[in-house]
Copies of this chain bind each other. A is one copy, B any other.
Amino acid sequence: MDKIKQVAIVGGVHGNEFSGIYLIKQYQAKPDLASRASFNTELVWANPEAHYANKRYLHSDLNRQFKNTDLANPRLANYEQSRAKVLNAQLGPKGDAKTDLLIDLHNTTSNMGACLILTQAGPFYNQLAAYVKMMMPEAIISRDEDHFAAEEHALMCTVGRYGVLVEVGPQPQSVLRQDVLELMDCMTQHILDFAELYNSNSLPALPKQTEAFRYLHSIKLPMNDKGERLGMVHKNVQDKDYQPINPGDPIFTLFDGTEIYYDGDTTVYPTFINEAAYYDNNLAMSLNEKVWITLD
C-alpha cells in the first residue's frame, strides 16, 4: 500500500516571501509541530542568499529550475540553478525521490487567501484536496496539473514523489503578517494530518465533490509596441481573486481613462491579480475555470 514515509516542508524558495521562511524557523524550534508518528519531516530553507539580498532571487527564479533536462545540464550554474541541483540531490532525485510528499510554501501579493495548488493529478491529490477543503472551508483548491508532464514541470514541488504548493496572501513582498503566517501554518497542519490519516488508512468520510479552480491561461497588461504599459488592472477586479469575470466586464483601465472589457466567451475566475512578482512579464492575472474534484 502507498505510504508517506518522508515529508519535506520547503520555505523561502523566493527570498522576499517571508511566511515560509519564518514558518520553517518555527517548526525547527518545535519539530513536533511538523512531524507525525508515521513519517519523518525534513525542514528546508531553499534560497537563503535571495532572502539576505531581500529579493525574489539572485540570478533566476528558483521555482522554474526543476525540469529534468535543466537539472541534468551542468552548464546551468548560476546561484538558483545550483541550488536546484543541490535540493534535487537532497530531496529527490526527481522521478525517484526519497521525499514522498514535498510541501512548498509561498506568498502572493494577491488577495488569494490560503490556496492549495495541485500541479499533478491522481487519487492522492483528489483526497488531499477534499480533506483540506472539508477541514478548512476557507481554503481554495487550485489545479494546474494537465499542462505539463511531471518531468517537464519546472516547479520545486515536482521534486517529491507527491508535491503541492501552499500559496497564501495578500502579503507585500518583504513583509511578515501574523494573519498570513497563521493561515499558512493552518493549511500545512491539515496536509500533515492528511498524510498521517492516509498512512493508517483512517481518513474520515470525504465529500464526493470539492470545488476547485483550474488554470486556463494568463493575460498581460495592455502595452504599446515599445513594451510600455498603457494601463492597469481595473479597480473592480483588484482584490477579487476567484470572483467571476463575465464577458463584457471591465478588466483594465488605461491611463487615459479608457476602460477595457473582457472579451472572452465564458465566465472565468481570476487568480494572482496584480501579483508583484509577475512585474517582469507584465502579467495582469491568471484566468481559471471552476471545476469539481470528484471522489469515487
> Would you call A25 an interface residue if the criterion is a C-beta within 8 Å of the partner chain's C-beta atoms?
yes
Query: Would you call A225 an interface residue if the criterion is a C-beta within 8 Å of the partner chain's C-beta atoms?
Result: no
Q: B238 and A274: CB pair below 8 A?
A: no
Query: Which partner residue on chain B sits nearest A253 by CB separation?
Result: B178
Q: How many angstroms from the CA of A233 to the CA of B177 in the assembled complex?
A: 7
**Would you call B26 and A177 a contact (CB within 8 A)?**
no
Contact assessment for A276 and B172 in the assembled complex, using a CB-CB cutoff below 8 Å:
yes
| CB neighbours of A29 from chain B (8 A) | 255-256
Contact mask A136-178 → B, CB, 8 Å, 1/0?
0000000000000000000000000000000000101111111
Q: A175 to B274, Cβ gap below 8 A?
A: yes
Residue among B25, B174, B175, B232 making CB contact with A178, cutoff 8 Å: B232
Minimal beta-carbon separation of A47 from chain B (angstroms): 17
Query: Interface size (A, Cβ < 8 Å)?
Result: 32
Which residue, of A256, A276, A277, has the highest number of chain B Cβ atoms within 10 A?
A276
User: Counting CB contacts under 8 A, is A199 at the interface?
Assistant: no
Q: A25-B255, A232-B181, A255-B25 are in contact. Are A54 and B279 (CB under 8 A)?
A: yes
Residue A290, interface by CB 8 Å: no
Q: Residues of A at under 8 Å CB distance from B?
A: 22, 25-26, 29, 54, 109, 170, 172-179, 181-182, 229, 232-235, 238, 253, 255-256, 274-277, 279-280
Q: Which residues of B lie under 8 Å from residue A54 when comparing CB positions? A: 279-280
CB of B175 within 8 A of CB of A255, answer no
Which residue on chain B has the smallest CB distance to residue A279? B174
Contacts of A280 in B (CB 8 A): 54
Instruction: Say whether B276 contacts A174, CB under 8 Å.
Output: yes
Q: How far is the CA of A279 from the CA of B176 in the complex (A)?
A: 10
Contact assessment for B174 and A234 in the assembled complex, using a CB-CB cutoff below 8 Å: no
What CA separation (Å) do A280 and B26 show in the bound complex? 21
